[in-house]
Structure 1
Amino acid sequence: MNDSESVQNAEDAVEEKLQTFIDAVADSETYQQFIEANTQLESDPEAMELLDEYRQKQRQMQQNFDQELMAELQEIQTELSENETIKQHREAQSALVELLQKTNDVISEPIGMEFAQSTGGGCC
């Protein structure tokens, strides 16, 4: 076996393990709860309207800061925090982020660097 074949075999093995990892995450209860919460959120018109209104107010604030607009934004934030569908989505999202952070930590330790860290990059 030459060096090129050896490298290819190693890359194939990594891809196979990566697919196993992806499947395990996708099959996890944490991910499934996130998918369910996301579906519930997308099918809740009141929650979606609140989120759209919040995003719109945020964009307006970025363009022109205004105290009245800030008060409206804070009022919407309160409504968001009280909406059960949105709370469940946020909790499921936080649990998924925590799971992914743990997997990042497990991978990072043996390779001696932060696995999910951007190294800057781009091609140029």
Structure 2
Amino acid sequence: MSETQPVEDAVEGKLQAFIDAIENSDTYQEFMAANERLENDDEAMALLDGYRQKQRQLQTSFDQELMAELQEIQEELEQNETIQQHRQAQTALVELLQETNDVISEPIGMEFAQSSGGGCC
């Protein structure tokens, strides 16, 4: 067994504790509840699907009428309570994760949640 194994085991233990803390946080729980409400809201899901479909259509050909339809759906999205609650919960979760990233990044002197590239070639 290598000397680094106990250190790696300790890191994995702390990582699991960190994951558990995030999963048990009110912010995460609120996001998961909002996500479930969204997935179970047929009207909200239909609006989101319609919006995505119009976006894809606009990518292939710009059409003023299509743009107007997209804006109309966007207004409906902004008025849909389920979607707004989901967006707020998602924003709060992203802020929490950014804060944790900042706390971890500072002592190690580099951006923790940043890709360092990848690939061998």
How far apart are residue 5 of structure 1 and its match?
A: 2.6
Q: TM-score by structure 2 length? A: 0.96
Q: 1:93-116: per-residue Cα shift (whole Å, max 9, x none)?
A: 000000000000000000000001
Larger CA deviation: 82-91 vs 57-66: 57-66
Instruction: Percent identity, please.
Output: 74
Query: What does 1:77-92 correspond to in 2, within 5 Å?
Result: 77-92=74-89
Residue segments in structure 2 that go unaligned for 5+ positions in a row? none
Counterpart amino acid of residue 81 in structure 1: E
Q: TM-score by structure 1 length? A: 0.94
Residue segments in structure 1 that go unaligned for 5+ positions in a row? none
Counterpart amino acid of residue 74 in structure 1: Q
How far apart are residue 7 of structure 1 and its match?
A: 0.7
Query: What does 1:20-39 correspond to in 2, within 5 Å?
Result: 20-39=17-36
Partner residue of 2:67? 70
Query: What does 1:33-72 correspond to in 2, within 5 Å?
Result: 33-72=30-69
How far apart are residue 121 of structure 1 and its match?
A: 1.3
Query: Aligned partners of 2:119 and 2:78: how far apart in 1?
Result: 38
Query: Aligned partners of 2:42 and 2:109: how far apart in 1?
Result: 46
Segments of 4+ moved more than 6 angstroms: none
Larger CA deviation: 82-91 vs 5-14: 5-14
Q: Classify the secondary structure of the residue corresponding to 1:5.
A: coil
Q: 1:34-86: per-residue Cα shift (whole Å, max 9, x none)?
A: 00000000110000000000010111111111111111111111100000000
CA-based RMSD? 1.0
Partner residue of 1:108? 105
